[in-house]
Copies of this chain bind each other. A is one copy, B any other.
Amino acid sequence: MKLTILFGGASFEHEISVVSAITVKEKLSSFDLSFVFCDGDHKFYLIDADKMKATTFSKQLHKKMPELTLTNGGFLQKSFLSSTTHTNTVLNLIHGADGEDGTIASLLDFYDIKFIGPRKEACTFSYDKRYTKYLCDAIGVKSVAYEVFSKDAETNLSLSMPIIVKPASLGSSIGVSIVKEDSEFDYALDTAFEFDSSVLVEPFIEGVKEYNLAGYMTDGKMHFSIVEEPQKEEFLDFEKKYMDFSRSEQVSRAKIDEELINKLKSSFERVYRGMFEGALIRCDFFVVDGEVLLNEINPIPGSMANYLFEDFPASIKELAASLSNAKRAKVSYDYIHSISQAKGK
Residues of chain A at the chain B interface (Cβ within 8 Å) = 8, 10-12, 14-15, 18, 39-43, 54-55, 57-58, 69-72, 96-98, 101-103, 105-107, 109-112, 120-121, 123-125, 128, 131, 133-135, 137-138, 150, 152, 198, 220, 238-239, 242, 274, 328-337, 339-340, 345
Contacts and interface: CB of A to CB of B under 8 A. Distances in A.
A244 to B, nearest CB: 12
A106 B123 CA distance: 12
Given A39-B331, A111-B42, A134-B135, A103 B121 contact: no
6 tightest Cβ-Cβ pairs between the two chains A and B: A40-B331, A106-B106, A58-B333, A124-B124, A10-B328, A58-B336
Contacts of A330: 10, 40
Contacts of A39: 331
A336 B330 CA distance: 47
A111 to B, nearest CB: 7
Contacts of A134: 134-135, 137-138
A332 B15 contact: yes
Interface centre among A15, A39, A137 (most CB of B within 10 A): A15
16 contacts: A14-B329, A14-B331, A40-B330, A54-B340, A57-B336, A58-B340, A97-B328, A102-B121, A102-B124, A103-B106, A121-B128, A121-B131, A134-B134, A150-B274, A152-B220, A198-B274
Contacts of A40: 328-331
Contacts of A138: 133-134, 137
A11 B329 contact: yes
A329 to B, nearest CB: 5
Given A54-B333, A107-B107, 16 more contacts: A8-B331, A10-B330, A11-B329, A15-B333, A40-B328, A42-B110, A54-B340, A55-B340, A58-B336, A102-B106, A103-B106, A103-B109, A198-B274, A238-B335, A239-B335, A242-B335
